[in-house]
């Protein structure tokens, strides 16, 4: 049986190992993809540190990686829509019988030489878009896109705040400009992240530790506060801070993941102002990916500045550590099998 390399996480011990495993065979309705690029997300860090646990995984070990691009290497019985050699982006998850399964969490992902996909859970990657940028679209770009356009339903000229301008948040800034939000306020304790947010189109970038943060946001929004606030950090303090500067009828959208409780300090104020807190997860990929790929191809969006470095698959642990410790302030690191 042919073998391949894969970076696999043993869930009970949270041990990440590069292992030789059997190269998968595509079954009926499946395709085999030769992985060209796979992104490293803070969710991978959380899976390894134990703050995130797969809910639907069968067995106790999973190949990580939910941001994956590659080429079709083979097709299973009955697959007619894909042919070997086509460039593709894999969806970061699949809906099976109404339940969302996340790639690299609930089933094997793309930190491997090859990955399997349902023939319906991938889309063609145009030749003009490199594999590294293609890889990050299914999550680091498309998750904020879904949060902005669907869950947060941001309208033109609405004042918005982005907490956490890392891998997802910096793209949120770019996407909020694309949909015409104004002003776009970025909030992050990391000065490099704030500079980057300004370079990508934020109107204002604030330090989350700034004692005058509330006043500055009030000033920037003509006293009204934010129509929409986005947590792209997954930090409980962010939620309290965002609620304190949310306008009447404002929406707080929670994209960052944390296992800590969600608290509303003043329930009466929250109800009186008719505010909303909305959970967000992933995106509707059959809709979002073609939209984003078309905006990139048309020159409206460019994520070339988001690829902070590339490492061979064998150095997956080092890539995780660099993202966790913000070594070199990466936006997205890419693994190349």
Residue ranges that bind ligand NAD, judged by CB under 6 A: 41-43, 46, 139, 143, 163-169, 187-190, 193, 208, 232-235, 237-238, 255-257, 280-282
Only one residue has tokens 């950090």, namely 233
CB of 29 to ligand NAD, least distance (A): 26
CB of 11 to ligand NAD, least distance (A): 17
Nearer to ligand NAD, 110 or 166 (CB): 166
CB of 231 to ligand NAD, least distance (A): 8
Nearer to ligand NAD, 110 or 282 (CB): 282
Alpha carbons within 13 angstroms on the beta-carbon side of residue 103 total 30
What single DSSP character describes residue 297? H
Nearer to ligand NAD, 124 or 195 (CB): 195
CB of 192 to ligand NAD, least distance (A): 9
Nearer to ligand NAD, 247 or 331 (CB): 331
Q: Quick one: which of 239, 211, 209, 213 has its CA closest to 225?
A: 213
Nearer to ligand NAD, 257 or 295 (CB): 257
CB of 284 to ligand NAD, least distance (A): 12
CB of 111 to ligand NAD, least distance (A): 15
What secondary structure does DSSP assign to 14-83, as a single string?
TEEEEEEEEPP---TTEEEEEEEEEEE-HHHHHHHHTSS--SS-SSSEEE--S-EEEEEEEE-TT--S--
Nearer to ligand NAD, 5 or 176 (CB): 176
> Tokens at residue 150, please?
């669907």
Only one residue has tokens 């006293």, namely 223
Nearer to ligand NAD, 41 or 184 (CB): 41
- Residue whose Cβ sits closest to ligand NAD: 166
Q: Where are the alpha helices (H) located in the chain, listed in sequence order?
A: 42-49, 131-136, 142-146, 169-178, 191-199, 213-220, 236-244, 267-272, 285-297, 316-325
CB of 281 to ligand NAD, least distance (A): 4
> 23 burial class (0-12, 13-18, 19+ CB within 10 angstroms)?
middle
Q: Where are the alpha helices (H) located in 75-168, listed in sequence order?
A: 131-136, 142-146
> Tokens at residue 310, please?
């590339």
Nearer to ligand NAD, 35 or 255 (CB): 255
Distance CA 110, CA 1 (A): 20
CB of 272 to ligand NAD, least distance (A): 26
């Amino acid at each position: 049986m042919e073998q391949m390399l894969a970076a696999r996480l043993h869930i009970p011990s949270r041990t990440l190992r590069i292992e030789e495993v059997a190269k998968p065979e595509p079954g009926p309705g499946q395709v085999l993809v030769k992985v060209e690029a796979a992104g490293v997300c803070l969710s991978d860090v959380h899976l390894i540190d134990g703050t995130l646990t797969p809910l639907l995984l069968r067995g106790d070990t999973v190949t990580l990686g939910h941001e994956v691009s590659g080429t079709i290497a083979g097709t299973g019985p009955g697959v007619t829509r894909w042919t070997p050699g086509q460039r593709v982006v894999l969806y970061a998850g699949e809906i099976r019988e109404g339940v969302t399964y996340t790639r690299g969490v609930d089933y094997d992902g793309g930190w491997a030489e090859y990955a399997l996909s349902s023939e319906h859970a991938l889309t063609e990657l145009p030749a003009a878009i490199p594999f590294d940028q293609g890889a990050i679209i299914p999550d680091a770009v498309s998750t904020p896109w879904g949060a902005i356009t669907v869950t947060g339903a941001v309208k033109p000229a609405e004042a918005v705040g982005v907490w956490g301008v890392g891998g997802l948040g910096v793209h949120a800034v770019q996407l909020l400009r694309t949909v015409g939000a104004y002003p776009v306020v970025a909030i992050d304790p990391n000065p490099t992240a704030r500079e980057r947010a300004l370079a990508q189109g934020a109107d204002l970038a604030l330090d989350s530790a700034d004692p005058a943060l509330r006043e500055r946001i009030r000033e920037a929004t003509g006293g009204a506060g934010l129509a929409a606030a986005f947590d792209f950090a997954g930090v409980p303090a962010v939620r309290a801070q965002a609620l304190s500067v949310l306008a009447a009828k404002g929406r707080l959208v929670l994209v960052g993941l944390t296992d800590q409780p969600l608290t509303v300090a003043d329930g009466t104020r929250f109800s009186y102002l008719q505010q909303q807190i909305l959970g967000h997860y992933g995106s509707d990929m059959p809709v979002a990916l073609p939209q984003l790929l078309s905006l990139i191809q048309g020159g409206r969006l460019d994520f070339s500045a988001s690829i902070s470095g590339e490492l061979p698959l064998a150095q997956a642990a080092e890539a995780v550590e660099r993202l966790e410790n913000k070594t070199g302030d990466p936006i997205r690191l890419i693994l190349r099998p």
